[in-house]
Structure 1
Amino acid sequence: MVRKESLAQLLDEGRRKIQVTDEELAEAKRRRRLLAASVRRAFAGSTAYFNGSVAHGDANTPLTDVDLGVVLTKKDAEPYGPGKKSALTLMEIARDAIHEDIGDEFPKLTIEVEGRRRAILVRFGDPVTPGQADFTADVMTAIPHPSGRGLYIPNTKIAAQWDRADPITHTRMVLQAIEDTKVVFARTVRLLKHWNGTHSKPMCSWNLKALCLNCLDEPMPLINALQVFFTYAADEIDKRPTPDPAGVAGPIPLNMPRADVYKRLCTARKYIDLAIEHEKDGRPVLAQHTLHQVLPELVAKPDATEEEADRLARAVRSGGPAATGLGLATGLVTTTRTRAWGD
């Protein structure tokens, strides 16, 4: 007997496989607190902020890094900024303070400043997730923007040495979306980050989240959230690069040409649409097989008998060009894994 699960069950099981564990999260947050205390001590009167996957509530396992920043007071920030001093001195101060404060607890600790674009890189020499090589932290030294909106953050790769950004608002927007969707936002992002990593990483994680902020604003099943995302994201990427949700920084860059990203998004959207159609029409095994193309490591290929696979293949062939065009007409009886690359 073939085990038949709904798409909702398959996705719930899948996101649980990659969700960060309580133990990983607790240790990552503890180390983040240590770093925040250290940089606040180094810069009297400063404030620390948290961003990235741990702060946004969408971290996956294995957990390998954490992100945070420190914002100087207006007075201390006066010598720094575009046309003034770079952040190098600030980065060196932060490095020395962190070494002094946590070096004894982490004897393999190393901190990189030279050549870093935006933040110092802290290598603990001690992983949070068993079996991983290490655990790292990006610690950014930022200054207030004169307008009061956002920050100036370091960018050692450009002449001005500073970029405008608003990571604090980004985190607030993500947390609000998680609340508004009753956690669906974070769970969808987890799945999307896995999809992204499985299919050549066409986009950075922040781009995925920025797009989600504009299309996921209420609770819904995860399969529908994926459908909404891929539909919206494909249309948006086809038109333009993703703008900064906070309206402060420039467009979010892609990891490959926009046409290629669009292609991958369209392919994933077609698979999701077809999976939903199969489930609606009472073909759960075929629905699972279709969803497997999008999330191959999270949704298992159906364990159908040859007879069942043959029947399903015939059903796909009779389903019209949409199924055939996605490569599903013969995929049920082959051991070769097909991915929604869009190539």
Structure 2
Amino acid sequence: MVRKETLAQLLDEGRRKIQVTDEELAEAKRRRQLLAASARRAFPGSTTYYNGSVAHGDANTPLTDVDLGVVLTQKDAEPYGPGKKSALDLMEKVREVIHEDLDDEFDKLTIEVEGRRRAVLVRFGDPVTQGQADFTADVMTALPHPSGRGLYIPNTKIADQWDRADPITHTRMVLQAIEDTKVVFARTVRLLKHWNCTHSKPMCSWNIKALCLDCLDEPMPLINALQVFFTYAADEIDKGPTPDPAGVAGPIPLNMPRADVHKRLCTARDYIDLAIEHEKAGRPLSAQHALHQVLPELVPDADGTQEEAGRLAQTVLAGGTAASGLGLATRLITPTRPRAWGD
């Protein structure tokens, strides 16, 4: 007999498949702390901050990297900034101290500065997740912004050499959202990041989180959170690029033309709507098949052919036509239909 699961069960099982393990997280945080200590030693009086998926509580397995930054004191930052010195010698200083502190433990450690746009890239030569090639860290050297809002962070690809951003506020906003939604925010982001990776990465993870910050502000079932996100994100991306939630940096760039991103979001939205509609009508296999199109590696496919035949028969008996009812359902239910790319 075919096992029939609710959408809630399918999503809970799916998100557990990609949730980072306690062991991975503990080791990643340990290495992050080592790097933070080195960064503070490189710049006495400085402060450090954490950002990225580990800091935001939405890391997936395999865990391959962490992000952190060091903020110089006002005095030490004085020679640097737009129209002044670039971050290159700061990055070299961090590289030097990290090597001094960590080479004994990590004998394959390498650190890249040349060609790096924003941060020093630390390659440990030793993965956190078994089977992965390596584990890396981005260590950013930042300056306090004169306004008191946000930071100047390196950008070696532009003439000014520095960009304005506020990663500290970003992390605070994400952690508050996780608390406000009773962890639904983080679990939804994990699923959305997986959707993003299996559908050509139309947007960066931060764009996903920025959109979530605007539409997920209370506890709700995961399927409803996905529905809210895709509906909101499709509308917002159709209008234009996503603004910085902290109101400091510029709009968040997309990874492909906006029309293509919008198309993928709309297709995912339609499949989520269809999955919910099928479940409400008592067609669990059809609901699972629709959800599979959005999260193909997390939700197993299911054959809803008999359920669809039953729906069509009931429609005809009720005086309708076989084509009436769910509108796009017949097209979307086809087992050979491509996953939610919108192609």
Fold-level similarity (TM above 0.5): yes
Rounded to whole Å, the distance in 1 between the matches of 2:252 and 2:49 is 21
Once the two structures are superposed, the pairs formed by residues 8-19 of structure 1 within 5 Å of their partners are 8-19=8-19
The residue identity in structure 1 corresponding to 2:153 is I
Once the two structures are superposed, the pairs formed by residues 31-50 of structure 1 within 5 Å of their partners are 31-50=31-50
Closer, same or farther in 2 for the Cα pair 1:311/1:178, shift >3 Å?
Answer: closer
Correspondence for 1:169: 169
Is 1:143 matched up with 2:108? no
Q: How much has 1:315 moved relative to structure 2?
A: 3.6
Closer, same or farther in 2 for the Cα pair 1:200/1:313, shift >3 Å?
Answer: farther
Correspondence for 1:323: 329
Correspondence for 2:119: 119
Correspondence for 2:315: none
Is 1:298 matched up with 2:271? no
Correspondence for 2:308: 312
- 1:20-79 CA-to-partner distances (Å, cap 9, x unmatched) read 000000000000000000000010000000000000000000000000000000000000
Is 1:273 matched up with 2:273? yes
Rounded to whole Å, the distance in 2 between the matches of 1:240 and 1:109 is 42
Q: How much has 1:188 moved relative to structure 2?
A: 0.1
Q: Secondary structure at the match of 2:256?
A: coil
The residue identity in structure 1 corresponding to 2:60 is N
Q: Secondary structure at the match of 1:66?
A: strand
Q: Secondary structure at the match of 2:5?
A: coil
Once the two structures are superposed, the pairs formed by residues 128-207 of structure 1 within 5 Å of their partners are 128-207=128-207
Q: How much has 1:311 moved relative to structure 2?
A: 4.6
Q: How many percent of aligned residue pairs carry the same amino acid? A: 85
Is 1:243 matched up with 2:243? yes
Is 1:77 matched up with 2:82? no
Q: Confirm or deny: 8 A CA contact 2:285 2:307 kept in the other structure.
A: no
Rounded to whole Å, the distance in 2 between the matches of 1:88 and 1:61 is 33
| Alignment length (residue pairs) | 333
The residue identity in structure 2 corresponding to 1:220 is M
Q: Confirm or deny: 8 A CA contact 2:49 2:70 kept in the other structure.
A: yes
Moved over 4 A (4+): none
Once the two structures are superposed, the pairs formed by residues 53-64 of structure 1 within 5 Å of their partners are 53-64=53-64
The residue identity in structure 1 corresponding to 2:246 is A
Q: How much has 1:313 moved relative to structure 2?
A: 5.3
Q: Confirm or deny: 8 A CA contact 2:286 2:307 kept in the other structure.
A: no
Q: How much has 1:244 moved relative to structure 2?
A: 0.0
The residue identity in structure 1 corresponding to 2:23 is E
